[in-house]
Structure 1
Amino acid sequence: MSGHGHGHGGGGGGGGHSHGCGCEGEHEPAERGLEYGLYRRIDVQKMQCLNESRDGDGKLVFKPWDQRKDREKFVESDADEELLFNIPFTGSVKLKGIIISGENDDTHPAEVRLYKNIPHMSFDDTGREPEQAFRLNRDPLAELEYPTKIARFSNVEHLSIHISKNFGDETTRVYYIGLRGEYSEAYRHEVTICNYELSANPADHKVESIIPQTNFIS
């Protein structure tokens, strides 16, 4: 589904998606950029990209909407054409759509498979059935959105994106991955977990097991 003309502000806002406020006539790109704000909800420190040719490059393709055509930051696969992104969010996400943009050649991803809530996924796990799979078109301008089956992608705390093939090159190159959807804060459980650590560990109290002297002075 071609993207840049879609103006039905999918679930985002209140009412007036077509009200022209008279300021600058071209407001749709900004509104669409807000819809693609889920990259800000990624726990970047814990995110992984497997088979990236240079360590850390996989994190660079999740960037703001207005940088989606930037060619300086990208990730390229290493040993073969596959890439696997493990993306933990800082809360719960309802994923509504995805954009994947690469070079206008055979390094562009041709197929992507999406998995939900399987942390630390490896290539060994990609044989299982995905929540959804897409055949991709070349999209160097980041214009094509692939809508997800929203019922399957509610309450997503961890998303895995497996790029399983490209258009025939030995390696795959990705410039931008856009995630559209809604975000909810996570409930915090750390305090309860800490309380359990207060219970005594017998191994910490070996001193008490020494038999005390029983000689009493009369």
Structure 2
Amino acid sequence: MSGTVEISSPAQLSTLLSSSRVVVVNFYNEGNTSSKAIAPVYDQLASQLARPNRVTFAKVSTVQQAQIAQSYNVTNTPAFIIFKNNQKIRTYSGSNPQQLSEAIKDLAAEAENEGGGSGGFGEAGSSGSGGWRGAALPRGYGDVTDQVDVRGLDLLNSDSDFGGVRTLFESSQPASLKKGKAAATGSEGNKDWVESDVDNQLMLYVPFTSTVKVHTIQITSCVSGDEEDDEAPVRPKTIHIWTNRQHNLGFEEAEDIPAIQAIELKPSDWDEQTATAKLELRFVKFQSVYSLVLFVADGEGDSEKTRIDRIRFIGESGEKREIGKLEKIGADD
């Protein structure tokens, strides 16, 4: 099957989701300017990446198929929902062709390379139900980053010249890992990461759309590794973590409130290939979590800049989120 499939009934969509490993659905409105603008990009991706029974591209008119749109709580167009093995794994809204293209290409490559078994699920650097990961999943746990409520994210002391807070939860592989060390220094101009501003501290507030159990936190930091450059950004070193706060903490406030856990990362904790470290949590302390505060107290070395490319949360999700609570991860602030 090549090109796109125009969906004319709920039954047709259901059959498609059952017959193809990956299905990308474009919800559009014929009268919407943004829907019209991104349509050629979507059609081009379909012509390049569609594979019979593996990767299928579909379109749903929210006007003609209002029932389908309502069932997935699509209210704004264009919207793109990606399904894998008949499960909804990702939702994007708006007309950002680059982000959509990268996400679909990653999934298409994975679907193409997978055999009839488990394929690349759970491997470091793979795209799974929670997107790209820099480390393998611990047995019995999954990626719950899609439970992050991106609408409530808050990041203090970040440099506005770099990506916003939602960049940390992009589902795609960090651009620096694709392009090598040159990109890690910023020379490629694609700054899809976060750097601290006036000093090397960062304070991140992360609310969730459901109660989660957090087993591990994966942090990716693609620094250049140039020890002679005192101004080059460095990786986080000491990280303090709080649970179930109603809002972010101030830097002075963090000194007065005991953290649930403090972790000091060593250079050996960082995987050389994926630039990712795993924060092993005291799991019993993170059983019913609806928000986290992560305080990067300092970084490796003497640099005043700390860099983080991605954060992934590994554990178990609690009460199932209502359809429609999914938000686009990685939207510009």
* CA distance in 1: counterparts of 2:120 and 2:210, whole angstroms: 32
CA change 1:92–1:28 in 2 (3 A) is closer
Task: Judge which range, 86-95 or 66-75, deviates more.
Answer: 66-75
By how many angstroms is 1:132 displaced? 0.9
1:144 match: secondary structure: strand
Which residue identity lines up with residue 155 of structure 2 in the other structure?
A: C
By how many angstroms is 1:38 displaced? 2.1
**Unaligned residue ranges in structure 2 (runs of 5+):** 1-114, 131-140, 179-183, 185-189, 226-232, 323-333
> Among 30, 46, 49, which residue is 2:152 paired with?
46
Task: Tell me, in whole angstroms, the C-alpha distance in 2 between the residues paired with 1:186 and 1:22.
Answer: 28
Question: How much is the aligned-residue C-alpha RMSD, in angstroms?
Answer: 2.9
TM-score (normalised: structure 1): 0.66
Q: Would you say the 8 A contact 1:61–1:176 is kept in 2? A: yes
Q: Match for residue 89 of structure 2? A: none
**Does 2:264 align with 1:135?**
yes
Q: Which residue of 2 aligns with 1:177?
A: 311
Q: Distance in 1 between matches of 2:142 and 2:203?
A: 21
Quote how far apart the aligned CAs of 1:122 are: 1.7
* Pairing 1:86–2:205 present: yes
Query: Is 2:214–2:286's contact at 8 Å kept on the other side of the alignment?
Result: yes
Question: Which letter maps to 2:263?
Answer: F
Task: Quickly say closer, same or farther: Cα 1:38–1:104, change in 2 above 3 A.
Answer: farther
Alignment counterpart, residue 241 of structure 2, candidates 114, 137, 142: 114
Query: Partners in 2 of 1:135 and 1:33 — Cα distance?
Result: 29
Q: CA deviation at 1:27?
A: 4.2
Q: Give 3-state SS (helix, strand or coil) of 1:45's partner.
A: helix
Q: Are 1:100 and 2:219 an aligned pair?
A: yes
Residues 49 and 59, structure 1, Cα contact 8 Å, conserved in 2: no
- State the 1:31 CA deviation: 8.4
Aligned length: 168
Whether the 8 Å CA contact 1:52–1:83 is kept in 2: the answer is: yes
Distance 1:144 1:77, change over 3 A: closer
Note the alpha carbon deviations across 1:105-130, whole angstroms, 9 max, x for none. 35111111111011222212211211
Deviation, 1:104, is: 4.4
Alpha carbons of structure 1 residues 111 and 27: separation in structure 2 relative to 1, 3 Å: same
Aligned partner of 1:126: which letter?
A
What is the match of residue 207 of structure 1? Answer: none
1:126-165 pair list within 5 angstroms? 126-127=254-255, 128-138=257-267, 139=270, 141-165=274-298
Return the alpha-carbon distance in structure 2 between the equivalents of residues 144 and 160 of structure 1.
18
Cα distance in 2 for partners of 1:136, 1:33 equals: 27
Matched, 1:59 2:166: yes
Q: For the Cα contact (< 8 Å) 1:99–1:143, is it kept in 2?
A: yes
Equivalent pairs: percent with the same residue?
25
Kept in 1: contact 2:241–2:261 (CA 8 A): yes
Aligned AA (2:262): A
User: Could you tell me how far 1:99 is from its partner in structure 2?
Assistant: 1.5
Q: Which runs of 5+ in 1 are unaligned?
A: 1-20, 189-218
Give the C-alpha shift of residue 79 in structure 1: 1.1
Shift of 1:23: 4.9
Look up the equivalent residue of 1:134 and give its one-letter code: I
Does the CA-based 8 Å contact 1:99-1:142 persist in structure 2? no
Tell me by how many angstroms 1:37 deviates: 2.9
Q: Is the 8 A contact 1:81 1:170 kept in 2?
A: yes
